[in-house]
Amino acid sequence: MASTSTAKSSFTNYARLGCAAQSELPNVLQKLLTIKQPHHMLYMHVSANKSLSRTLRAHEWKQITGAQLNGYSNLDISLCYKLIRNLNLVPPPTQGWDFPADPTPLELTVGDDIERIRRKRNEVLHRGNTLVTDQELTDYFTIFKAISGRLEIYLGTATNEFVSTFEHLESCCMDIETEKMYMENLEILRKDENTFKEQISLVRNTVEMIEKQEQDLKFTLNEHKVSIQSLDNEIKNTASKCKSGTETLEKVTEQHQQYIKTLEQSTSSQTVRIKSLEDATEKSDYKTENLNAKTDDHEVKIENLEVSVDEHDIKIERLEDTTDEHQNMIGTLEVLTGQHQGKIGSLEDQTNQHSDQIVEIEEHTTVHKEQIGKLKEITDISQENMRTLNERTDVHQDKIGTLEVENLTQEEKEQYIQTQEYHKKKKMESLYNAIDLAQEQYKNELALFQQATIEKGTANGITIDALTDQIYAASENEDMDLFESLSGELNAFIENMKRESQDASDMAMQRSQQHQTHMSNLNRELRATMLDQPVLSDDYIALKTTDRPKGVNNDEP
């Protein structure tokens, strides 16, 4: 019976540790976040912190988005630790964050206690033995209560706000169902953390493989670029040679044709002469021998000319063969050019797809800019009204400044002071209204910006999750083409998301500076109006009753 009671007590002690790790320790960190980091500004600050935003997982982004409305009650210790550490909400531990060794008993800064909470939670979570002795329980809760007491002093909370919770948990009765619930939750957390580690390892391996493939693709692309450039140069050189050869061929052909024409003309002339000689032979027999001799000479010349014509014909045939070879080369170059144009067309299609995505993003950006422009127009109208009021006041003061000081009665002096007080009150009311309007406009504008940022962040997270699932599916199916295509799309989407986030942050910062400048001007004018006392002086005097300026009524205070 004693052994059974001891085992039961040990399981109860383990359940108490589980409750402390799952509920009470997170409550301490959630309280610190509530005091140090307003929950409605959390999403914007996390998004602006690039080193932090890159390490957050999808479910952690959902918790951060929900914190804007529900506070920090749903954040676990791991996420609280990330936010406190990366947003610099407390000074770092003595030995730095995530130091290999635990903080020593003499290292008691708030950063050291945050580090202790994370390490003790992990120690309970990964504890292999579920049997916890009473002494072990006492040691754990002594540390928990010491940490809680120091954080109560640091945060300025009520005395024993955290410590009393651990004291009650250490000794309170715990039913079987509660013990079972905390032990099951510990087991689920242990499995989930192991699963996350495996997923992180898988993602890391996938990223390394993607980076290697990206380097291979860049190398292959550079080779293609060099090949295409070489092919373009070769095409240009060949085209230039073909053009030069064709022009030379045309010139030689033209010269041959001209030469043949000359030969034809010469042959025709010789034929006429031969005919003339034959006629002369019939008339004069004694000249026959001379004519025959001349005829033989001409026939030899004609034969020589015919041989020369045959040689030119052979040259022309050779030139025609050369022209055919050039045409074949031109045909081959046209085929290569067609293939090159096909590749260029494919690249242009991809470029058009990216251009369509960019146009869609620019449309969203235009809508946000239009909303901001409307708010600026309202602010400009308000400022114009203020300038008009100031100009009227200046005109009234200038008129009063030109009046003569003569025989002022006490009643007239009091009337002037009342009038001054009335105008001062009206101007201050107008300034207060302008300040309230500017604050309300900026508040509405900030709410719209936050809502748009949340919606954009949620949509981006869904898109990234979908692309990641498709990449895993392609990797499992060993479809490398689809894998490379989806990887490129994911990288492009992430780069575009970074640019959008940076643009939105710059726009919000610029609008904040404009609002601060406007509020500073209004407050400066309000202070000047409040310090303006209604006194009678050489520069600012009242009129007699008979010389009172137009618009000032004795009955109007």
Evaluated on CA atoms 295, 301, 307, 311, the torsion sign reads: negative
- A 10 A CB-CB count for 142 gives 12
The model carries a pTM of: 0.38
Q: What is the per-residue pLDDT for 348?
A: 59
Contacts of 468 (CB under 8 A, 6+ apart): 490
Instruction: Please work out, in degrees rounded to the nearest 5, the angle formed at the alpha carbon of residue 148 by the alpha carbons of 142 and 153.
Output: 130
CA distance 147 to 483: 49
Exposure class string for 182-208: b at 16+ Cβ within 10 A, else e: bbebbeebeeeeeeeeeeeeeeeebee
What integer pLDDT is reported at residue 442 of this predicted model? 82
Those residues of the chain that have pLDDT short of 50 are 1-5, 281, 288, 291, 333, 336-337, 340, 344, 347, 351, 354, 358, 361, 402-406, 535-557
* Whole-angstrom Cα Rg for the chain: 48
Whole-angstrom Cα distance, residue 169 to residue 13? Answer: 10
Of the candidates 53, 23, 187, 242, the residue with the CA atom closest to the CA atom of residue 117: 23
Rounded Cα–Cα distance for residues 79 and 87 (Å): 12
Q: What is the pLDDT of residue 44?
A: 93
pLDDT of residue 545: 39
Q: Evaluate whether 46 touches 64 at the Cβ level (below 8 Å).
A: yes
